Structure 1
Amino acid sequence: MDIDFWHQKWEKNEIAFHESKPHPVLVTYFKELKLVEDSRVFLPLCGKTLDIAWLLSKGYSVAGAELSKLPIEHLFIGLGLEPKISKFGNVSRYSATNIDIFVGNIFDLSNEILGRVDAIYDRAALVALPKEMRNRYAKHLLEITDTAEQLMISLEYDQSLMEGPPFSVNSDEVNQHYK
């Protein structure tokens, strides 16, 4: 993963992946996780997704991880919240009531820093990573979340048509990572 690539995407506002409303897959299928109110949902590589506001509005607590602080600053402004910022090694935590977003490399995030996770919502995090990194990422995600249940949005397409990201990740690969 080219860290500079993602920082430049945010700085140049080249974020075609950012949607103007909560993702329809989240809205339709999130109930399948059968979580109780106040469950803590982790969004890896979250950016400033409006899915966070939707989860908060449904009574869930949200944790997220993002490489760049720019979208997280925008996220908190959009939510009308003033974050309290603290540092844990190479990771900064932006916190307010029912929300903790960890800014830095997700591989620097540990279970101890992240805390309790009741479910994972992967809104295209796996497909943002190149093939050679996905196995390490999936293993790390399972470790830091104590193998929490997951709702994942993935993409499958002819990879020769587009270099990526997003990358094509078929169901066989998803099963290989999370079986």
Structure 2
Amino acid sequence: MEADFWHARWDAMEIGFHEGTANELLVRHLPALNLAPGSRIFVPLCGKAQDMVWLAGQGFEVVGVELSAKAVGQFFEEMDVEPDIAGHGPLTRFSAGSITIYSGDLFALDGAALGAVDAIYDRASLVAMPGSMRDSYSRQLRALAPSASRLLITFAYDQAQMEGPPFSIDTAEVERLFAENYDLTCLEERAVEGGLKGRIPASEAAWRMLPR
């Protein structure tokens, strides 16, 4: 989606994608990645997700990237901490404790800024990408962290019934994007209780992706 779309959503606080607690599938399935204590986890399009607080609480180092500076500011305000803020090329780096968030365009983030990461947690990033952006997105994440394992959470539903985001990412699309470079395992698939946005029958899946 265009940057203006997401800025408008945050300005209007139309953030139905935000969960106020750690995601259930994250909590249940992160152990499947067999990460060592202190591992670095990258969270693309992180918003102000409480998932990052939970990950830090498990002893991991967390680095995110988020287009909306408003979202990043709210995240640290809600943590009641004052982050260190520094410019980093076209991005702005916010950091406090074991959490760092780059504010700016994911596609402007480079490997030198990100540093080595052990895993990628993607709950609200791929599903935010329309079909025209998914190939570029998958290439960018692989370029940033080619050896990182991933926990990917997707939705699948009849796209004709509703425009995204979140967009429908079915098994065939996951395989198209990632099967060439990753061993894929669907760890869990479940119905979305009450339907997506309360009206569209949908399923939610957690995928483990291990680089070859």
Shared topology, TM-score over 0.5?
Answer: yes
Residue 176 of structure 1 corresponds to 176
Are the counterparts in 2 of residues 117 and 146 from structure 1 also a CA contact under 8 Å? no
Residue 116 of structure 1 corresponds to 116
Residue 154 of structure 2 corresponds to 154
The alignment partner of 2:5 has SS state of helix
Are the counterparts in 1 of residues 48 and 72 from structure 2 also a CA contact under 8 Å? yes
The whole-number CA distance in structure 2 between the counterparts of 1:37 and 1:106 is 26
Are the counterparts in 1 of residues 60 and 98 from structure 2 also a CA contact under 8 Å? yes
The whole-number CA distance in structure 2 between the counterparts of 1:17 and 1:124 is 7
The whole-number CA distance in structure 2 between the counterparts of 1:73 and 1:113 is 20
Q: Could you tell me how far 1:96 is from its partner in structure 2?
A: 1.5
Q: Could you tell me how far 1:75 is from its partner in structure 2?
A: 0.7
Q: Could you tell me how far 1:97 is from its partner in structure 2?
A: 1.6
Are the counterparts in 1 of residues 17 and 124 from structure 2 also a CA contact under 8 Å? no
TM-score (norm. length: structure 2): 0.82
Normalized per residue, which structure has more helix?
1
Normalized per residue, which structure has more strand?
2
The amino acid that maps onto 1:141 is L
Q: Could you tell me how far 1:163 is from its partner in structure 2?
A: 0.7
Residue 33 of structure 1 corresponds to 33
The alignment partner of 1:156 has SS state of strand
The alignment partner of 1:63 has SS state of strand
The whole-number CA distance in structure 1 between the counterparts of 2:45 and 2:131 is 16
The whole-number CA distance in structure 1 between the counterparts of 2:30 and 2:81 is 25
Aligned pairs for 1:110-149 within 5 A? 110-149=110-149
The whole-number CA distance in structure 1 between the counterparts of 2:69 and 2:6 is 11
Residue 165 of structure 1 corresponds to 165
Q: Deviations over 1:128-172 (max 9, x none)?
A: 011000110011001111241000000110000101111101112
Q: Which has the larger radius of gyration?
A: 2
Q: Could you tell me how far 1:178 is from its partner in structure 2?
A: 1.7
The whole-number CA distance in structure 1 between the counterparts of 2:177 and 2:114 is 21
Identity %: 44
Aligned pairs for 1:13-92 within 5 A? 13-92=13-92
The alignment partner of 2:100 has SS state of strand
The amino acid that maps onto 2:118 is D
Moved over 4 A (4+): none
The alignment partner of 2:133 has SS state of helix
The whole-number CA distance in structure 2 between the counterparts of 1:109 and 1:174 is 23
Unaligned 5+ runs, structure 2 = 180-212
Are the counterparts in 2 of residues 61 and 98 from structure 1 also a CA contact under 8 Å? yes
Measured on the aligned residues, the alpha-carbon RMSD in Å equals 0.9
Unaligned 5+ runs, structure 1 = none
Are the counterparts in 1 of residues 40 and 61 from structure 2 also a CA contact under 8 Å? yes
Q: Could you tell me how far 1:89 is from its partner in structure 2?
A: 1.3
Residue 98 of structure 2 corresponds to 98
The whole-number CA distance in structure 2 between the counterparts of 1:43 and 1:168 is 20
The amino acid that maps onto 2:91 is V
The whole-number CA distance in structure 1 between the counterparts of 2:46 and 2:107 is 14
Are the counterparts in 2 of residues 10 and 68 from structure 1 also a CA contact under 8 Å? yes
TM-score (norm. length: structure 1): 0.97
Q: Deviations over 1:97-140 (max 9, x none)?
A: 21110110100000011111100000121010110001100110
